[in-house]
Amino acid sequence: MRLYAFLSQVMAFADADLEKLYVFSRLLRRYVPVERDRLPREIQQNIDMESYRVRRTSAGGISLPRGEGRLQPMAPKGGYVDQPSEIEPLSRILRELNERFGTDFKEEDRVFIEQLEQTLVADPALAASVRVNTPENARLTFDHAELVAGGTDRLQDMIETNFEFYKRVTDDREFARFFLDWLFERYRSSLKGSPPS
């Protein structure tokens, strides 16, 4: 069921019986008893749980000083604080594209990329897929959504708004790979809570 649910996001199945079986299986799963006390099969294969046992290694009491005292509240521990990853500004990526591929992208191209990002952010199915899948599987879904999601070709929409960018993405495979890699990492970072700059 999980495999079909994932693959149906990536590719279209022509077999209607598979979809019927998937829907039936989802409903049937509610009525099939589930043993919750067993460990997953991978853990059972790698760890021999039969040889483990609970054993007392020490016993005793905690000695407390006599008298009145004041309990201090817990203070935050010092150390590592997770910093949100910084997203590269669009002007920096345009400068890098211009230097690396000899293009001449300007400020209006930055606006075009922002519109492309907003289209991606507005896709809830893509966001859900990127959050729950591994980066490799999420990238497959991202590329599929970027190129042909929902029957509309987003790259074809580039023709109307920015033909030069469209031509570079479709004609230059290295340019397309570099740009889509950057766009995917920027999209993943924005999902983690860092707003695009």
Query: What does the CA dihedral 18, 25, 140, 188 come to, rounded to 10 degrees?
Result: 150
For Cα atoms 149, 150, 153, give the angle at the middle one, nearest 5 degrees. 55
**Which DSSP string corresponds to 53-115?**
-------------SS---PPPPPPPPS---PPPPPPPHHHHHHHHHHHH-----HHHHHHHHH
The answer to whether residue 143 is domain-embedded is: yes
Of 38-47, 78-87, 90-99, 105-114, least confident by mean pLDDT is 78-87
Q: Which 3 state secondary structure label does DSSP give 10?
A: helix
Q: Hey, how many other C-beta atoms are within 10 angstroms of the C-beta on 135?
A: 11
| Same domain flag for 111 and 177 | yes
Q: Is residue 96 part of a domain?
A: yes
The whole-number pLDDT of residue 21 equals 92
Residue 14 domain-assigned (yes or no): yes
> Does 101 fall in a domain?
yes
Q: What is the pTM of this model?
A: 0.48
Is 196 inside a domain boundary? no
In a domain, 51, yes or no: no
Tell whether 94 and 185 lie within a shared domain. yes
Q: Which domain holds residue 115?
A: 90-191
Query: Are 97 and 13 in a shared domain?
Result: no
Q: How far apart are the first and last CA of the chain?
A: 39
Give helix then strand counts, H and E, for the chain.
Answer: 10, 0
In total, how many domains does the chain have?
A: 2
Q: Say whether both 24 and 116 belong to one domain.
A: no
Structure tokens at 92: 């920096």
Q: Which residues contact 115 (CB under 8 A, 6 or more apart)?
A: 161
Task: Examine the domain organization and report whether 115 and 187 are in the same domain.
Answer: yes
Distance CA 79, CA 77 (A): 7
Report the C-alpha gap between 74 and 76 in whole angstroms: 7
85 belongs to a structural domain: no
pLDDT of 12-64, one tens digit each?
888 889 889 988 998 888 888 766 666 677 777 777 666 667 788 888 888 87
48-52, 101-105, 106-110, 120-124: lowest mean pLDDT where? 48-52
Read off the pLDDT of each residue in 113-138 and give the average, rounded to a whole number. Answer: 83
pLDDT of 150 higher than 80: no
* Tokens representing residue 160 in the block: 């109307």
Is residue 20 one of the residues assigned to a domain? yes
